[in-house]
Chains A and B, each alone.
Chain A
Amino acid sequence: MSASHEHTHPDTLNDEIRRETGVIVNKCYQCGKCSAGCPVATEMEYPPSLVMRMLQTEDPLHVEKLLKSMTIWLCVTCEMCLTRCPMEIDIPSLMDFMRQKSYRAKKTNPQAKKIISFHKSFLDSINYTGRLYEMGLIVDYKMRTGAMMQDVAVAPKMFIKGKLNPVPEFIKGRKKIAAIFNKVQDKKEGKL
């Protein structure tokens, strides 16, 4: 039939979503169960079911709004939406996809800065030592965000309880880890 025709029309965002995450956006019938169970829906501009609806419209303006939203960064990947969705739509993977896309296109919401800084400090620690070094993470995160006072209160108590290591543990294969970071980074898009 028109197989050749199907392959010639350009790849839409929803095609890309389907290929990368397996999610078929149009399967959502707007029952709202995902938003009802989502623990952070009340803090999001667009709760998960609305994200689905916006994508269904294929309106570039909606896509732009999503990429610049706080919604995608507020999602904590708790997997509740997927668990309760009657159509088994993998919203958590879709959220991962949107975050990565927003981050690469440098469209991240300014208010998400703290969350993203935390992720970056976290990955830096792994890149450098092979593991997460909690004390280093906190210091690095504070430097990035300037949020100096917050959390200072628990640090001494953690230290006394033996929960904070004063020195990082370096794994032997940390060069191997650095090589992994190098390989997964797209040269054009710059450092993670």
Chain B
Amino acid sequence: MKVGFYPGCSMKGGAREYQESVSALAKVFDIELVEIPDWNCCGATAAHNLNKELSLSLPARIMALAEREGISDIVVPCAACYNRLSIVKHELEADKSLSKRVASIIDLKYEGTTQILNIIQFIDKYITDRLEEKVVKPFDYKTACYYGCLLVRPHSILKFDRVEDPQSMDVLVKKAGGDAIDWAYKTECCGAGMSVSRTDTVARLSGNIMKDAVDRAAEVVVVACPMCHSNLDMRRPEINKFLNEKIDIPILYISQVLGLAVGLDAKTLGLNRHMTEVNLPVKPAMEVPVASEPKKVVNTQKLEA
């Protein structure tokens, strides 16, 4: 199975472990990820803040290159890139003359035929059916699934998951053997690209997110975006200073969680690259095969007694 792959800049640098874990996971399920040749940056926040045509042209070039390769599905694991590509595809679809103008700016044919998939849509389309049978080490942790903004908003364009209490990632975590907890900050903003220019804002917003997660006994927070990851992980010293607390639970990518569950090792998944050390305790469930897990039986006996 071949699927187009747009890593985006952060997966080549600060979020290297996201790429490592997505690639490793795809391999387990025999999916070949084909990187879009000579892809460019999508322009992110900087482009749409300063220049509209630029913010349309950079993502359009990426999709045009994919079309030229005959790629129909592009998986875009960075939520920020996913959001930009999806919005541009939508805007060019709605306005044919704008689409023509952009095609002339990028000097490539642009039809808008590629499907843009975020990491969860990709997993659901290509992996979920075969996931449970491959789980050998259930991810038995209280897990807070953090979706952030760009994966679910704006709903009118992305039409992905529910905006206030999305479930798609929770379902995946449960299939991986985890306990996806209910919490209040699933889609609150972490401060986005303000990490360098307004660190205090990021510390406050990300701090509130982390506080709610630990108050509800989360042992780990799971994300699907390198920007969310770096704000919650790399900015932890600033977060802890803001909260005047010492929160040390790790932030994992959803691809790392599923990777661990199907038996990939920590190094392959790049767990060593996080700033907040990942030292999750080994749980009994991880040592016994899933089928003969005794826990539920014990519980019913207790209830009956």
Contacts and interface: CB of A to CB of B under 8 A. Distances in A.
B163 interface: yes
B13 A165 contact: yes
A115 B163 CA distance: 28
Interface in B176-235: 188-189, 191-194, 196-199, 201, 205, 234
B58 A134 contact: no
B40 A177 contact: yes
A183 to B, nearest CB: 5
Contacts of A96: 48-49, 52
B50 A79 contact: no
Given A39-B189, A132-B9, A180-B106, A172 B196 contact: no
Interface string B8-41: 0110111110000000000000000000001111
- Majority SS at the chain B contact face: helix
Contacts of B156: 88
Contacts of B39: 171
A96 B45 CA distance: 10
A130 B196 contact: no
A150 interface: yes
Contacts of B13: 132-134, 163-165
Contact of A99 (B44, B49, B275): B49
Interface residues of B, number: 53
| Secondary structure of the A contact surface, majority rule | helix
Contacts of A130: 38, 40-41
A20 to B, nearest CB: 8
A79 B190 CA distance: 13
Interface string A150-192: 1100100110011111000101110011011101110000001
B38 A171 contact: yes
Nearest to B198: A115
Contacts of A115: 194, 197-198
A127 B15 CA distance: 22
B245 interface: no
A65 interface: no
Contact of A180 (B49, B54, B155, B163): B54
Interface in B128-159: 149-150, 153-156
B191 A39 contact: yes
Determine which residue in B193, B196, B205 has the highest number of CB atoms from chain A within 10 A of its CB, and name it. Answer: B196
B50 A119 contact: yes
B44 A122 contact: yes
Given A131-B12, A163-B16, A192-B54, A83 B153 contact: yes
B299 interface: no
Interface in A75-119: 76-80, 82-83, 88, 90, 92, 96, 99-100, 103, 114-119
B194 A184 contact: no
A25 interface: no
Contacts of B193: 76, 118
B72 interface: no
Contacts of A150: 196, 199
A123 B46 contact: yes
B124 to A, nearest CB: 22
Contacts of A119: 45-46, 49-50
A180 B149 CA distance: 29
A180 B107 CA distance: 9
A21 B60 CA distance: 19
A125 B40 CA distance: 11
Contacts of A116: 50
A54 interface: no
A150 B196 CA distance: 8
Contacts of A172: 38
A62 B234 CA distance: 39
B47 interface: yes
B105 interface: yes
A138 interface: yes
B39 to A, nearest CB: 7
A43 interface: yes
Contact of A179 (B107, B149, B198): B107
Contact of A151 (B196, B198, B274): B196
Q: Across the A-B interface, give the 5 residue pairs with the lowest CB-CB distance, nearest first.
A: A79-B153, A132-B9, A78-B189, A119-B46, A122-B46
